[in-house]
Amino acid sequence: MPQSVVSASAANYSSSSSSSEIPVLSGRFHDWVFECHGFWHNAVLIIASFLFVLYLALQSRNSFRKLSHGRSHIIISYYFSLWLVSLLNLAWSTFQVWECSPGKELAWNLLSLFTKSGMLFLEVSLLAFLFEGNNATGLEPLTRTFGISGIVVGFDILLKAIYLFAFGIPLFIDTNDSNHHTKWNLWVIHKLVLTVIYGFILFMYHSKWRERLPARPAFYKYVTIMFIMNALALFACGLSGNGTAFGFWLYHVTVVCYHAFYLPLLYITFLADFFQEEDLHLENVYYSEMKDAGFFETDWE
């Protein structure tokens, strides 16, 4: 066969392969952006989670410097836990298409399991940390709060893993299918427990036991927001279990709001004040050092 014919055949094969790959790639991109839950669902999750990770990255240098001057093991541990969960949440938001892709069920279930468990760990730890107090130092408060959170989240992971891999119940694949009553019953119990806990804390704020709670308005606002969010999610899960389309839509709204805005809310509630206080503390330290060095002494001669 002449060399020119071979070259032409190779060129034709290469061009046909390239042209066939373009529709495949464009189809995958289209599915990633528009299919499954739709454009706005994916856009809100991806943009919100990416912006928060970007914010943490931009603030990381100052945050590390302030943490190095701090003495709270709780704040340091919580900050790095927040980083890890934020990256997991960004991955979960980015790979939403796995939920609707055949052959990706295992990867999606594992990613969802660890992401949601990580966020629950932060949620439980925040309550425990704030009851300990932001200024708690030493390893004993850290061990106690992490121990409580670890037990709760460990039980949660075990229960969900049994539902997923032993019974084959699609906990993290959201379809408007009321046949999976066991799935919705589990989510109802999960949201009910959280709603009761936050509701009880709100009750304590208006009772004689409010002195046992942190005297911080941000904490009260956080508890109020989480109570409303979990109450709505509880209502949505109950409706979805009965096959109500509105309940399924409301459930999706609560999921998007939780994954898009919970981590920033948690940062504002717990860590933002610490870093602001550290700024004031460092300014006072610098002022004291400069005063001791005589920078502010007035020469009356």
pLDDT in tens, 195-243: 999 999 899 888 888 777 777 788 889 999 999 999 999 999 999 988 8
Give me the amino acid identity at 117: S
> CA angle 248-252-257, nearest 5°?
150
In the chain, domain spans: 26-270
Mean pLDDT check: name the lowest of 4-18, 91-105, 111-125.
4-18
Burial of 163 from C-beta contacts in 10 A (0-12 / 13-18 / 19+)? middle
Asked if residue 135 has pLDDT above 80, the reply is no
CA gap 170, 177 in Å, rounded = 11
Confidence (pTM): 0.80
> CA angle 178-182-185, nearest 5°?
90
pLDDT in the model for residue 134: 46
pLDDT in tens, 52-85: 999 999 998 888 887 877 666 778 888 999 999 9
What the block records as the tokens of 153 is 């989240």
